[in-house]
């Protein structure tokens, strides 16, 4: 199939999130070692994005235009490929602790992400899981070790939305298939852009068998951000819609 073809395929069935389980009282708080020093780097001086009632986003997730990014991550890749910016004080040895921390202060039991490049909102809950049919990592499991941090993993099972939850749910949501009924409702120009992104994404897989397998999985939500040319995570910004509603910025 030519990479310029506008033909697309769709998955035979949709994959849905299962409702998050009620958190165990034993995870009401996490005891973290403090030998590695503070997790909020003093070199970042700009104010954190703040929503209603003074709710703030975690330093590692904060959107700050014109400033160095705490996280380097292409959202089309698995979240265990991300790296933290050591120039901002995020040492590799801090990675698991950062991922386990609450995504907001004070901690929230759910947050919603809005994004200009997506016709969906993304709901993030603590310990959310994907259905068994999903080929991707269950969200209830910890991420594999980050680069430069052998043997260390994020801490799952918290009763609040963690940094880990935000990144993993974002990735998993983008990997969900696009239903034909959703595709036909898109404007013709958007259909063409999404179809091109789908074909380009599949063509980048060099192994012919894996490429054909990916084509059979059909158009995915990630094709929206590929079509927009915005696949880099640049942080979450506050809104006036509520302390649990945040804007996902991609660059």
4-39 pLDDT tens trace: 446 788 776 433 332 333 232 222 222 222 333 332
| CA 213 to each of CA 11, 132, 135, 203, 206: distance values in angstroms, whole numbers, following the listed order | 11, 18, 12, 12, 12
One domain, residues 162 and 135: yes
Note down the domain range covering 81.
17-176+231-250
Residue 10 lies in a domain: no
Q: How far apart are CA 153 and CA 81, in angstroms?
A: 13
Residue 169 lies in a domain: yes
CB 32 within 8 A of CB 97: yes
pLDDT digit string (tens) for 140-184? 334 333 333 333 333 455 689 999 889 989 998 999 998 888 888
Number of structural domains the chain divides into: 2
One domain, residues 193 and 162: no
Residue 198 lies in a domain: yes
One domain, residues 21 and 43: yes
Please report the pLDDT score of residue 42 as a whole number: 30
One domain, residues 186 and 166: no
One domain, residues 69 and 152: yes
One domain, residues 166 and 187: no
One domain, residues 66 and 164: yes
Cβ atoms within 10 Å of 88's Cβ, excluding its own: 18
Q: How far apart are CA 5 and CA 8, in angstroms?
A: 8
One domain, residues 78 and 121: yes
One domain, residues 100 and 202: no
One domain, residues 172 and 240: yes
One domain, residues 43 and 32: yes
pLDDT cut 70: percent of the chain above it: 69
pLDDT digit string (tens) for 88-128? 887 777 788 888 889 999 999 999 999 999 988 899 988 75
């Amino acid at each position: 199939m030519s990479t310029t073809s506008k033909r697309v395929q769709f998955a035979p069935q949709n994959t849905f999130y299962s409702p998050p389980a009620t958190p165990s009282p034993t995870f009401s708080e996490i005891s973290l070692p403090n030998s590695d020093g503070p997790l909020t780097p003093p070199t970042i001086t700009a104010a954190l994005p703040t929503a209603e009632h003074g709710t703030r986003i975690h330093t590692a997730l904060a959107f700050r235009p014109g400033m160095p990014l705490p996280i380097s991550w292409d959202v089309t890749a698995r979240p265990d490929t991300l790296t933290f910016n050591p120039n901002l004080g995020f040492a590799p040895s801090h990675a698991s602790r950062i991922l386990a921390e609450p995504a907001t202060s004070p901690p929230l039991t759910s947050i919603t992400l809005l994004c200009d490049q997506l016709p969906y909102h993304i709901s993030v809950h603590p310990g959310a899981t994907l259905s068994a049919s999903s080929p991707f990592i269950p969200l209830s499991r910890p991420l594999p070790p980050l680069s430069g941090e052998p043997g260390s993993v994020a801490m799952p099972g918290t009763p609040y939305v963690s940094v880990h939850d935000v990144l993993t749910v974002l990735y998993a949501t983008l990997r969900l298939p696009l239903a034909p009924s959703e595709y036909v409702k898109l404007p013709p120009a958007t259909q063409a852009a999404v179809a091109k992104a789908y074909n380009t994404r599949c063509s980048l897989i060099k192994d012919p068998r894996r490429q054909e397998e990916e084509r059979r999985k059909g158009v995915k939500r990630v094709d929206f951000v590929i079509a927009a040319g915005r696949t880099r995570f640049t942080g979450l910004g506050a809104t006036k819609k509520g302390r649990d509603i945040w804007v996902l910025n991609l660059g």
